Amino acid sequence: MAMSVLNQKTLSKPINISGVGLHTGKLVNMKISPAEPNAGITFKRTDLKKDNLIVPNIFNVTNTNLCTTVANEFGAKVSTIEHLMGAFFGQGIDNATVEIDDEEVPILDGSAKIFVEKINLAGIKISDTPIKIIKIDKKISFTDGSKFISIEPNKISLDIDFEIKYKNPLIGTQRNLVKVYEADLTDIYNSRTFCLYEDVEKLKQMNLGKGGSLENAVVVKEDKVLNEGGLRNKKEFENHKILDCMGDLYLSGCKIVGKVICSQGGHKLTNQLLRKTFIEKSNFSIIEIKQKNIPHTFINRNILKSIA
Ligand SMILES: [Zn+2]
């Protein structure tokens, strides 16, 4: 067991989850099953007869408008994958097959809470195959107007330093820094997607948010949260953006060692940064974490355990 935390993980048994898609409003059934080492995360659209496998990665992201959508070369797509991917990332699930009978992952309560609970309930199976990590070797930045994101080398952890700035007085400016492999991620997992009351109508006009309700999104009107019970944690808006960021970073396929700094970003900015980073091989290295080739910089074994 001492070393096994550095090995790839999958679920001990399948999980079934059903619910509506946030944007399509359709009922979706999903089954997440264990997968072999090095298989990674694969989506399988069971409603399509063929060409229905979609392997999410940063280069097959086809839409980042309000959620992250990935598609295969045949045009089969799956959307709103970010909260599930964030749960996989945080819980250390390297390999899993996600069968889904429609194009959008269920929104559930708008957070990753239920995904994480179901993963923990099923249990985690540890393989004999070592994990791989991506180590960022150069600082890369991407700017879009006042929005900014960068990734840079870091010793052992993945730090996400994220800031949001809203004109809305209740949301306002919030900033948080999370050390993903060391922190208690409960508040991150539990934080729900959110929108402004005045944007609800706009979403409907764009034919989006059809499954949206106070059951699966925090809705803010002026200085009030319309959801009964209010917020789940003080920085729920901010923490949800960090959950989204984790899910989008996991489209790189591995754990990342680096530091991400972002102001007012989202799915699009994170994807643009990752494309810019991974298009150039000298920006990063992939390390297989075997006991014998642990880089000398990874001196703190306790922290190393938490990465796996
Ligand atoms: Zn989200």
User: Would you list the DSSP string of 170-238?
Assistant: TT-EEEEEEETTTS--HHHHHPPPEEEHHHHHHHHHTT--TT--TTTSEEEETTEE-STT--SSTTHHH
Residue 29's CB: how many other CB atoms inside 10 A?
15
pLDDT band at 5 (very low <50, low <70, confident <90, very high): low
Pairing status of strand 7-11 against strand 124-130? antiparallel
Q: How far apart are CA 118 and CA 33, in angstroms?
A: 12
Question: For the segment 199-254, what is each residue's pLDDT rounded down to a tens digit?
Answer: 888 888 888 888 999 999 999 999 999 999 999 999 999 999 999 999 999 999 99
- Sole residue written with tokens 């034919």: 207
Contact 28, 101 (CB under 8 A): yes
pTM: 0.93
Residues acting as catalytic residues: 267
- 239 C-alpha vs ligand 1 centroid, how far in Å? 10
Phi then psi dihedrals of residue 47, to 5 deg: -80, -10
Mean pLDDT of 168-174: 95
Task: Give the distance (Å) from ligand 1 centre to CA of residue 246.
Answer: 10
The rounded Å distance from CA 7 to ligand 1 centre is 29
19-32: average pLDDT: 95
For 148-161, the pLDDT digits (tens) are 999 999 988 999 99
Output the CA 305–ligand 1 centroid distance in Å.
28
CA of 171 to the centre of ligand 1 (A): 16
Ligand 1 center from residue 203 Cα (angstroms): 15
Per-residue burial over 42-65, b if 16 or more Cβ lie within 10 Å, else e, is bbbbeeeeeebebebbbeebeebe
Q: How far is the CA of 306 from the centre of ligand 1 (A)?
A: 24
43, β-bridge pairs = 54, 98
pLDDT in tens, 75-111: 999 999 999 999 999 999 999 999 999 999 999 999 9
Query: Is it the case that residue 63 has pLDDT exceeding 90?
Result: yes
Average pLDDT for 168-189: 96
Contacts of 285 (CB under 8 A, 6+ apart): 134, 135, 137
Q: What is the DSSP string of 45-74?
A: ETTSSSS-EE---GGGEEE-SSS-EEE-TT
**C-alpha 88 to ligand 1 mean position (Å):** 14
Residue 167 burial by CB count (10 A; 0-12/13-18/19+): exposed, middle or buried?
exposed
Q: What is the pLDDT of residue 3?
A: 42
Phi, psi of 116 (to 5 degrees): -65, -45
Residues in contact with 165: Cβ distance below 8 Å, sequence separation at least 6, in sequence order: 172, 173, 263, 264
